[in-house]
Amino acid sequence: MTLITPKPREQLTELEPLFQMVEANMGFVPTSMLTMAHWPELLQAFGGLGSTVISGGEVDPGLKQLVAFVVSNAAGCRYCQAHTSHAAETGGVSTEKIQAAFEFETSDLFSDAERAALRIALHAGMVPNAVEADQMSELQQHFSERQCVEIVATIALFGFLNRWNDTMATTLEDKPKAFASDSLAEHGWQAGKHG
């Protein structure tokens, strides 16, 4: 159960346009947004940042979701692992590729460019951050500086969300929970304090 009671959506009429946009994209309104709604200005700012990072830019949105999945896995955030894997799947990434993200270094499903991005995500999710200069140089061999910024922005966005949801013990919604329970269980995913 979420440690800070989520605000009821019906009490947040001024935020309804944001909720409708999120719901159209994700299929539901995340519990994390309803806890952020205790500080409406934070939620609005976060909504803009999240939309820009995830939906904007040049990097493929499916790769961004895989980056978010890998960084959330490294950080141990089950809530964000479920969200990002579900979002990748609804965005057209195959379940097989999502499952293979646990072994991206050796899986034939990933290109060298994808491996470079996921390697940065994995090492950035560690505490302390374990990204090395040579890993960033490799990323720059495959992506423009603008695209590298997008990848790091995705990692940073989910660094915030990983800390937010683990600290709040955010209750996981049914859709991402069902996807993760069905598709990620063989890799050790299980609903825990967030389910």
The mean pLDDT of the chain is: 94
Q: Which distant-in-sequence residues (6+ apart) come within 8 Å of 141 by Cβ?
A: 116
Give ∠ CA 35-4-40 in degrees, rounded to 5: 30
Average pLDDT over residues 24-39: 95
At 185, the pLDDT band (50, 70, 90 cuts) reads confident
The Cα diameter of the chain in Å comes to 50
pLDDT for 41-76, tens place per residue? Answer: 999 999 999 999 999 999 999 999 999 999 999 999
Percentage with pLDDT > 70 across the chain:
97
pLDDT for 112-137, tens place per residue? Answer: 999 999 999 999 999 999 999 999 99
At 187, the pLDDT band (50, 70, 90 cuts) reads confident
Cα distance between residue 2 and residue 22, in whole Å: 20
For the domain spanning 59-184, the CATH number is: 1.20.1290.10
Cα distance between residue 71 and residue 103, in whole Å: 14
The residue length of the chain stands at 195
What secondary structure does DSSP assign to 61-84, as a single string? HHHHHHHHHHHHHHHT-HHHHHHH
At 194, the pLDDT band (50, 70, 90 cuts) reads very low
pLDDT for 82-102, tens place per residue? Answer: 999 999 999 999 999 999 999
Closest-CA residue to 151 (of 81, 47, 32, 71): 71
Query: What is the reported pLDDT for 192?
Result: 60
